[in-house]
Structure 1
Amino acid sequence: MASTTAPLRPQVPTPPPNKPPNKSSSKIEASTSTPNPQCSILIIGAGATGLLASLRAHYQGLTPLLIEKTSFLGGTSSLTGGSVWIPCNPITFPPSASTSTTSSKPSNQDTLPSALTYLTTLIDPIGPVSSLERKLAFLTQGPKMVEWLREVGFKWISAPRFPDYYPEVEGASLGRSVEGEVFDAKKLGKWEALMARSETQTDVAVHASESNVFPIFWRTWGLFFLFLKIVLVRTVGWRVLGRRPVTMGRSLIAQLMLLVKNRGLEVWRETELIRLLLEEGNVVGAVVKREEKEVEIRASKGVLLCAGGFARYLEMRREYFQAPASDEWTMVPPPDTGDAIRAGQEIGAATALMDDAWWYPTFVNPRTGERHLCPYERWLPHGIIVDSSGKRFMNEAQSYFDCGQQQYERNKTVPAIPAWLVMDSQHRQKYLLWKMLPGRTPERAFTDGWLKKAASLSELAEEIGVDAEGLTSTVTHFNKMVAKGTDDDFNRGTSLYDQYYGDPTMTPNPNLGTIELSPFYAIQIWPGDLGMKGGLLTDEYSRVVRENGEVIPGLYAAGNTAASVMGRMYPGPGSTLGPAMTSENLDGG
């Protein structure tokens, strides 16, 4: 980070990867008795981006101070699948294995030209937010970030079969996502209690790239044995040995926390950003609130804002989003209230993509308010999503991001918020639904009001308030397409991505199955999200800029505080965390 317009590349030796941990006591509860604390770089937000930034700054010879608004570390990152989308990553694609290819079909090789082709083909040019320079910075520095973390002790695994979300687009590939290995959280000691966690997270040590196994694990012997490995060996087995296995977002955060802890880096929890300090046009620090006192922190090299977006700030959602705008469907924790974005706006920072989010179809229990992502329920056969007219309006098996966008688009002409996932008894007999095992539907699901049931489609339509004639004709038409094995309306099941999450026992199309066996079921689908896509506008060095493109010296942004380089698309699993974690590793950034 730097306090001038020129990007910083500190001329200091980098400590070797095997440098012994700092033996001093943790500084996580550092005193605020010093009136004006000093640091090289002030990092605001202790998610994956902030933890990595603190660690990276330390290795560059700087003195970081990491502050976090809440009592816990990890933020939204710890609640995610933990996939990190990095084309040409050295875990899946060792340098010696990379070969050039001009094929438009997904392959198990990857190159910078193919990755760039994929991004430029997929993402519409919408100004500087997804400029060629920003794309190239991400693509060239991402693999370096992965390799550097591996050198300092982070344990990755590859997902060689995990497809990009648009495998038919030129330059698409398999295996561009990596994630943390199963990790023993007990290694964190007392710090384990500081890791953010959601009550809806599972204790089963499943990796994000195995998320297609659980809803259908009894459908084939191969899936069943993989399920046993996950549950008996990796989960129960580890616990019998006295370990506490974590995967996905918790592995990502736990490993980063351990690296930060072992270096004795300073972390202030329950510390809220009040405003940035601006002197002669340069950001030189910030005023924060800690222990009910305002503390001025001076940062000689600048401030990095990586405190998330504004998913839980209804006022901002209503200001920027199309109606209906609500914070009741998001999966992001309450502290995500746009503090960092607003602090940047107050000193003249430009923003972009403020009307977009990382959409994800979501169930909401109307009685308890509990939210649950809807991934596999809509991928699998014997179900469709319909609007108030009873008509389909999307490929139900496409990426979750596209589902959210199309639900809002449909709602402009036909009420589609909420939409309804309509299933028959075959779906309930074969697959998981929310937390319910196949064939077991507790009465509470109906008394809570989130699951509806009826003996016929017309009765179900009346129960959920959609057009009965529209629903019955839609299902009749859909069943005819199932018989052919082809979704002529929305191409469900033709993409490799769709098929990855389908039921392999259903032929010829793993995503299609008839809706004909009574009773029938329906559950509301809301356009939930994993956070905001919009934020402060940055250049290829993560430097925050004004509307005229002028850099604000000393101010940097990353993660969901910064507008996404991905524009209005979601290229693959981990397209949020990939750029967020790469930002700190940019040459000069």
Structure 2
Amino acid sequence: MAPSLWQRRGVRVTAAVSAVAVGTVLAIRTNRQRKHLPPDSIARAANSVRQRPDGSYETDVLVVGSGGAALAAALRARSLGLSVLVTEKNAKVGGTTAYSGSGCWIPNTHVHNDTRDSPEKALTYLESIIGDVGPASSRERKLAFLREGPEMVKYLEDEGYRWIPTPGYPDYHQFHPGAMIGGRSIEAGAFDRNLLGPWKDMININPARAPVAMYTFELSKMVRAKADWDGKVTAAKAFGLRVYPAWLLGSHTSTLGVSMISQLLYLNLRRGTSLWVSSPLKDLQTDKQGDVVGATVEHGGKPVTVHVSRGVVLAAGGFAHNAEMRQKYQPKGITSDWTSASRGDQGDAITAAIKIGAATALMDSAWWGTSIIDPATNQPYWCLYDRVMPHSIIVDQEGRRFANESLNYNTLGTKLWEHSKDHPAIPSYMVMDTTHRNKYVLAGKLLPGFTPQSALDSGFLTKADSIPELAEKLGVPARNLAETVERFNGFAKKGVDEDFERGKSPYDRFLGDPSYKNPNLGELSKPPYYAVKIWPGDLGTKGGVLTDEHARALREGKEKGKYEPIRGLYAIGNSSASVMGRTYAGAGSTLGPGLTFGYIAANDMAKRQDASK
């Protein structure tokens, strides 16, 4: 006999209670295994770099920036016996990494130990999706990333970093040779931020997202927590297994980017890495041969010289919030208002490198996507989990769909830019019906079934009792929008999107609502209807200093088209031109190469002779 409804609910309640118990045990175990940083750790980290009689400072390695790539490079260099100073322009540590999901796309790591994959298969995939974009994604750089990535992951784990697999997350281009479903993305495990002691409150927390203890593969389930039991169980697990037990024991459980930065900061401070906050880079210093031998950094309100014996690593992000640079290098109409990058992403490191002759590449590119802007605060919200769900479409200002709304963010953002060249599409509109509003979280801030009047008054949302009325309020041709919705509803009934194949890819379906025949398609038929503006946002720029397979910065050589390394200068993360070219391989394609080339840079610096001798 099948169990009754109450019996099934009893099983779920028992499971939730068990989760709390297991979570309590895990939290106790974590607290026993790790020690809190001492109260004087800030003072020791700020003053352990060597000071010369003339007031300047000296260290083996200077790392500019404090995101994931920067802290990985610093930790590796420190573990190889080098003295390291990390400088951060802001008062908080972590940059845009702290806003991220902490995902790292790195094939063939021991975390998954997936026998379906191989370096050759991963290389086939990368070469298929990237194509020829020049030396930024040379074969040598791809091979270095694929070779050293798994070593970096194992190294960090040996240092005490906790990884977890991201199960089932598909690569973003499933119909290209070498693509995989699952096995290539990993992320930061949960970490007790209280272990940071006095550094706990110095993490750069995203103002658009309150830190919640969940993982990236759980986010789409949480968005639909009101709609199905899978989402409810995920929510119970997140809070029952991580949040409440930790709270009862006086811990502060963090996941995602906050965990990545917290873990790397913790490990660096225990290793004795020096760290200065509120210390922006002003210039790089070179000798007569053009080698980088130090930098000028503003520290304590005045410029100071930092001499280096092994190298400077530029890891301060890109130039997402530098309007002048974006207008100079990027597509016409671009603005810094729509980016989800940290406010400190101003291009300081790239500008300093350009001043001493460093070559750049991919400066017109970014990690594209779509954003929703709150007019009341001008705060961008990354648009992903809401737009993939059924009962929603995205249309341009002519009321027409122009892409599969469930595409990976980089491809959808690119298509929005391309479409806007010939059609009015900035902003576009995500149109949804009441079923969507009742089932799913919107913009990560509006809970299902709750649409406050303030969201309507501010213009964040537009509401109407019919599609023609909604079109009129948006200034969109009513006939076009009505035809678009009618055509889409026909696709939703059949479960097949004949125009843009929404829901065909395993990636689409992974993020959708599995209770539907097509997890991404649902009719827009229940009034009232809603619309929110969609802008061409990004996670940051991806063009920067051109580097080789050792993460060394390059300059134009004597022979045209040839490059030579700038001794003593390295660039990683969004301060460098991405090995991913203009595409996005899978979840974590920003941080995966960033941390890997940070590891590579540290290894190379350890092999260099002391430049001060």
TM > 0.5 fold call: yes
1:51 is the counterpart of 2:71: yes
Q: Shift of the alpha carbon at 1:337?
A: 0.8
SS of the counterpart of 2:220? coil
Distance in structure 2 (CA, Å) of the matches to 1:417 and 1:564: 27
The 3 A distance-change label for structure 1 pair 73 and 249 is same
Distance in structure 1 (CA, Å) of the matches to 2:499 and 2:552: 44
Match of 1:245 in 2: 253
Alignment of 1:142-161 (within 5 A): 142-161=149-168
Alignment of 1:49-448 (within 5 A): 49-93=69-113, 98=115, 109-173=116-180, 174-279=182-287, 280-434=289-443, 435-448=445-458
Match of 2:18 in 1: none
Per-residue deviation, residues 17-45 of structure 1 (Å, max 9, x unmatched): x9999989553332896422111111111
1:577 is the counterpart of 2:586: no
Per-residue deviation, residues 185-237 of structure 1 (Å, max 9, x unmatched): 00110111111112222332111121111111233333322221112221122
Q: Note if contact 1:533-1:563 (Cα within 8 Å) is conserved in structure 2.
A: yes
The 3 A distance-change label for structure 1 pair 22 and 328 is closer
The 3 A distance-change label for structure 1 pair 21 and 222 is closer
Whose helix proportion is higher, 1 or 2?
2
Per-residue deviation, residues 317-374 of structure 1 (Å, max 9, x unmatched): 1111112111111112221111100011011111111111111211101121122111
Q: Shift of the alpha carbon at 1:166?
A: 1.4
Q: Note if contact 2:193-2:254 (Cα within 8 Å) is conserved in structure 1.
A: yes
Distance in structure 2 (CA, Å) of the matches to 1:375 and 1:266: 38
Match of 2:573 in 1: 559
Distance in structure 1 (CA, Å) of the matches to 2:41 and 2:391: 57
Per-residue deviation, residues 384-412 of structure 1 (Å, max 9, x unmatched): 00001111011100101111111110000
Q: Shift of the alpha carbon at 1:579?
A: 0.4
Distance in structure 2 (CA, Å) of the matches to 1:462 and 1:165: 36
Q: Note if contact 1:25-1:264 (Cα within 8 Å) is conserved in structure 2.
A: no
Distance in structure 2 (CA, Å) of the matches to 1:244 and 1:462: 48
Q: Note if contact 1:22-1:263 (Cα within 8 Å) is conserved in structure 2.
A: no
Pick one of 564, 567, 574 that aligns with 1:550.
564
More displaced 10-residue stretch of structure 1: 319-328 or 302-311: 319-328
Match of 2:19 in 1: none
Q: Note if contact 1:307-1:560 (Cα within 8 Å) is conserved in structure 2.
A: yes
Q: Note if contact 1:533-1:560 (Cα within 8 Å) is conserved in structure 2.
A: yes
More displaced 10-residue stretch of structure 1: 250-259 or 363-372: 363-372
Q: Shift of the alpha carbon at 1:472?
A: 0.9
Q: Note if contact 2:243-2:253 (Cα within 8 Å) is conserved in structure 1.
A: yes
Q: Note if contact 1:390-1:466 (Cα within 8 Å) is conserved in structure 2.
A: yes
SS of the counterpart of 1:77? helix
The 3 A distance-change label for structure 1 pair 397 and 63 is same
Which residue identity is paired with 2:565? V
Q: Unaligned regions of 5+ residues in structure 1, if any?
A: 1-17, 99-108
Alignment of 1:460-539 (within 5 A): 460-507=470-517, 509-539=518-548
Q: Note if contact 2:67-2:98 (Cα within 8 Å) is conserved in structure 1.
A: yes
Q: Shift of the alpha carbon at 1:448?
A: 1.0
SS of the counterpart of 2:407? coil
Distance in structure 1 (CA, Å) of the matches to 2:383 and 2:534: 8
SS of the counterpart of 2:530? strand
TM-score with structure 1 setting the length: 0.92
Q: Shift of the alpha carbon at 1:588?
A: 3.4
Q: Note if contact 2:218-2:234 (Cα within 8 Å) is conserved in structure 1.
A: no
Cα RMSD for the two superposed structures? 1.8
SS of the counterpart of 1:363? strand
Q: Note if contact 1:28-1:269 (Cα within 8 Å) is conserved in structure 2.
A: no
Identity %: 43
Q: Shift of the alpha carbon at 1:68?
A: 0.8
Distance in structure 2 (CA, Å) of the matches to 1:56 and 1:506: 47
SS of the counterpart of 1:62? coil
Distance in structure 1 (CA, Å) of the matches to 2:343 and 2:198: 24
Q: Shift of the alpha carbon at 1:83?
A: 0.6
Which residue identity is paired with 1:588? D
Distance in structure 1 (CA, Å) of the matches to 2:403 and 2:480: 16
SS of the counterpart of 1:343? helix
Number of aligned residue pairs: 558
SS of the counterpart of 2:143? helix
More displaced 10-residue stretch of structure 1: 168-177 or 116-125: 168-177
Per-residue deviation, residues 406-437 of structure 1 (Å, max 9, x unmatched): 11100000011111001111111221112222
Q: Note if contact 2:433-2:527 (Cα within 8 Å) is conserved in structure 1.
A: yes
Match of 2:604 in 1: 588
Match of 1:40 in 2: 60
Which residue identity is paired with 1:448? S
Q: Shift of the alpha carbon at 1:283?
A: 0.6
Which residue identity is paired with 1:195? I
Q: Note if contact 2:171-2:507 (Cα within 8 Å) is conserved in structure 1.
A: yes
Q: Note if contact 1:45-1:66 (Cα within 8 Å) is conserved in structure 2.
A: yes
SS of the counterpart of 1:276? strand
Which residue identity is paired with 1:60? L
Distance in structure 2 (CA, Å) of the matches to 1:334 and 1:19: 32
Match of 2:17 in 1: none
Distance in structure 2 (CA, Å) of the matches to 1:161 and 1:25: 40
Q: Note if contact 1:329-1:526 (Cα within 8 Å) is conserved in structure 2.
A: yes
Q: Shift of the alpha carbon at 1:500?
A: 0.5
Q: Shift of the alpha carbon at 1:490?
A: 0.8
Q: Note if contact 1:219-1:505 (Cα within 8 Å) is conserved in structure 2.
A: no
Distance in structure 2 (CA, Å) of the matches to 1:375 and 1:322: 23
Distance in structure 2 (CA, Å) of the matches to 1:484 and 1:221: 25
Q: Shift of the alpha carbon at 1:541?
A: 0.6
